[in-house]
């Protein structure tokens, strides 16, 4: 007589919070300011403004965009702001920094909109394996949002979760 295999994880009250579910579906792009600098280092304001004015910004339509400079150029504070002026009509969001900074900013906004009370007094697994580049900082933000509600929080997968937090009774 064969014994029926029961999926205990599927039948448990365990809730899984997967940050990958909140990864942006739209494209993520970067703009390197050095392309408009003389030899990648020197900003000549008139030439810089003219280059921005003549650039095709429509390629950033409906995308998330990070603005950075790949060289060690010393730039005036207004440089990044001016580039963002040109991106604003097209991009969904513009952030000064690298793609990781942009992703973290998107996760901050997204996590702030989630009602975490659905995890009230429940054991939660903060899913750890990801096929997308979820920033480590997003996990730190997520556990801070989950902890006030959850009975416990573990990290990883149901089969090999690492305990992170258990509420005091």
Beta bridge partners of 154: 125, 163
What's the 3-state SS for 50-103?
A: HHHHHCCHHHHCCCEEEEECCCCCCCCCHHHHHHHHHHCCCCCEEEECCHHHHH
- For residue 24, is pLDDT > 60? yes
Q: Domain limits at 60? A: 28-91
The Cα 157–Cα 165 span in angstroms is: 15
Predicted local confidence at residue 13, as pLDDT: 83
39 with 17, same domain: the answer is: no
* Domain termination site, one of 47, 64, 91: 91
121 with 81, same domain: the answer is: no
Q: H or E element: which one contains 125?
A: strand 123-127
pTM: 0.85
- The Cβ of residue 131 has, within 10 Å, a number of other Cβ atoms equal to 7
Least confident of 11-15, 50-54, 164-168: 11-15
Please state the rounded mean pLDDT for residues 35-53: 97
Predicted local confidence at residue 5, as pLDDT: 61
Give the pLDDT band of residue 130 (cuts 50, 70, 90): confident
Residue 2 within a domain? no
68 with 16, same domain: the answer is: no
The Cα 70–Cα 109 span in angstroms is: 27
Predicted local confidence at residue 53, as pLDDT: 98
143 vs 8 pLDDT, higher one: 143
- For residue 111, is pLDDT > 70? yes
* DSSP assigned state of 37: S
Predicted local confidence at residue 12, as pLDDT: 66
34 with 83, same domain: the answer is: yes
């Amino acid at each position: 007589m064969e014994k029926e295999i029961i999926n205990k994880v599927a039948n448990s009250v365990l809730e899984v919070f997967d940050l990958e579910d909140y990864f942006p579906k739209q494209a993520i792009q970067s703009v390197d300011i050095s392309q408009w600098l003389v030899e990648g280092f020197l900003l000549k304001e008139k030439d810089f403004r003219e280059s921005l004015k003549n650039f095709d910004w429509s390629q950033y339509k409906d995308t998330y965009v990070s603005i950075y400079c790949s060289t060690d150029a010393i730039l005036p504070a207004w440089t990044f702001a001016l580039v963002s002026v040109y991106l604003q009509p097209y991009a969904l969001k513009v952030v000064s920094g690298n793609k990781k900074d942009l992703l973290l900013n998107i996760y901050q906004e997204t996590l702030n909109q989630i009602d975490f009370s659905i995890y009230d007094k429940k054991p939660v697994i903060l899913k750890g394996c990801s096929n997308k580049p979820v920033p480590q900082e997003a996990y730190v933000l997520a556990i801070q949002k989950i902890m006030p509600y959850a009975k416990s929080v573990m990290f990883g997968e149901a089969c090999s979760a690492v305990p992170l937090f258990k509420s005091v009774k």
